[in-house]
Amino acid sequence: MNLLLLATLCLGTALAIPKFNQTFDAQWHHWKSKHRRLYGTNEEEWRRAVWEKNMKMIELHNGEYSNGKHGFTLEMNAFGDMTNEEFRQVVNGYKHQRHRKGKMFQEPLMLKIPKSVDWREKGYVTPVKNQGQCGSCWAFSASGALEGQMFRNTGVLISLSEQNLIDCSRAEGNQGCNGGLMDYAFQYIKNNKGLDSEESYPYEAKDGTCKYRAEFAVANDTGFVDIPQLEKALMKAVATVGPIAVAMDASHSSFQFYSKGIYFEPNCSSKDLDHGVLVVGYGYEGTDSNKNRYWIVKNSWGPEWGMEGYVLIAKDRDNHCGLATAASYPTVN
Ligand SMILES: *[C@@H]1O[C@H](CO)[C@@H](O)[C@H](O)[C@H]1NC(C)=O
Ligand SMILES: *[C@@H]1O[C@H](CO)[C@@H](O)[C@H](O)[C@H]1NC(C)=O
Ligand SMILES: *[C@@H]1O[C@H](CO)[C@@H](O)[C@H](O)[C@H]1NC(C)=O
């Protein structure tokens, strides 16, 4: 009886394997152990199928890159066994609202704006963080912008608590791991008269009750400024203010598996925004022309994703992926 059962199971596995392309077997096992995936038998089959489809898409794109069709490459990463629909549900937590409530950014006049800026070099930016399986991008975008403004004011860079924002800013309209807006986070910090440090209120990647402690507050804001929906205005803000919180369309599989280069996705929307990130600078590759310009964007998917956690996004190409559509920053005293 036992022998028979064993034989049936072995046959079952033996039959299941040829469904997949065996040239990928070793990579699949390596990927699974690297990302600590443990599946049930049925789930493993279809996860492998999803992963293999993604592998093929990545290979195809990178082949086209070699032929000069794209300016960026893709790579397999932690999102490898997710369909694009699952990926969107898990990581994109920005709830776009057309109506904006901040003070409007007053563009500085008569100012010579530099052709490239990188606030990382000036000490304004903390190491890349990882939101995990929680739609809290908005909290990371907001904390990143305030970290920069606090550094500008005090000369000290202190990592700020996203969990504080997730747990405590529901009254302002945020929904924790189900999404939110950077401007609501800035409003909460103003109302709350402070935000705790990352160290005192660490990240948990899940919703919880508010555990804010005023004695651990290391940052504050007095409100926020919304930037006009033009890349020229965003450029002036980045050049004169520091890192800016922005929203974007990050829904495409080209973004899911972005590796390096200037991201340009023909299907990217400048209106349907689903992800909050942080613009920390801009620049250009080679000669300064529209095709070579990029925004330097800090993401919150850990340092393994993209260019050590960053992505370069096409600049001055019709507000690509909507970076200029909902840009803002907190004001500090
Ligand atoms: C398996 O994948 C490799 C690499 O993409 C490809 O060259 C080969 O044609 C595939 N084999 C089958 C049977 O699909
Ligand atoms: C933040 O600003 C408010 C209003 O000026 C002030 O009452 C509060 O003490 C400040 N909080 C911190 C942590 O400095
Ligand atoms: C753009 O979207 C269309 C329709 O959803 C799809 O068929 C096409 O493959 C997409 N193009 C790219 C480059 O992703």
DSSP 180-210: B-HHHHHHHHHHHT-EEBTTTS---SS----
Active site residue 299: yes
Counting ligands in written order, the one closest to the CA of 266 is 3
Task: Report the pLDDT averaged over residues 276-297.
Answer: 96
pLDDT value, residue 108: 81
Distance CA 321, CA 9 (A): 49
pLDDT tens-digit map of 206-230? 999 999 999 999 999 999 999 999 9
Neighbours of 71 (CB within 10 A): 17
Give residue 131 CA to ligand 1 midpoint distance, Å: 35
Active site residue 137: yes
Q: Exposed (0-12), middle (13-18) or buried (19+): which is 221, by Cβ within 10 Å?
A: buried
Counting ligands in written order, the one closest to the CA of 150 is 2
Q: What is the C-alpha end-to-end distance of the chain, expressed in Å?
A: 77
Given pLDDT bands bounded at 50, 70 and 90, which one contains residue 20?
confident
Is the confidence at residue 16, as pLDDT, over 50?
no
Candidates 155, 154, 191; CA nearest to 171 is 191
Ligand 3 atom with minimal separation from the 252 CA: 14
pTM over cut 0.95: no
The answer to whether 254 and 244 have CB atoms below 8 angstroms apart is no
Give residue 193 CA to ligand 2 midpoint distance, Å: 5
pLDDT value, residue 251: 96
Given pLDDT bands bounded at 50, 70 and 90, which one contains residue 34?
very high
Give residue 23 CA to ligand 1 midpoint distance, Å: 7
pLDDT value, residue 12: 37
Q: What value does the mean pLDDT of the chain take? A: 92
The answer to whether 112 and 155 have CB atoms below 8 angstroms apart is no
Ligand 2 atom with minimal separation from the 214 CA: 13
Is the confidence at residue 18, as pLDDT, over 60?
no
Is the confidence at residue 7, as pLDDT, over 70?
no
CA 64 to chain centre: 25
pLDDT tens-digit map of 62-118? 999 999 999 999 999 999 999 999 999 887 889 888 778 888 898 887 578 999 999
pLDDT value, residue 97: 80
DSSP-assigned beta bridge partners for residue 130: 301
Counting ligands in written order, the one closest to the CA of 64 is 3
User: Which of 153, 193, 331, 332 to probe ligand 2 with, by most ligand atoms within 8 A of CB?
Assistant: 193
Is the confidence at residue 57, as pLDDT, over 70?
yes
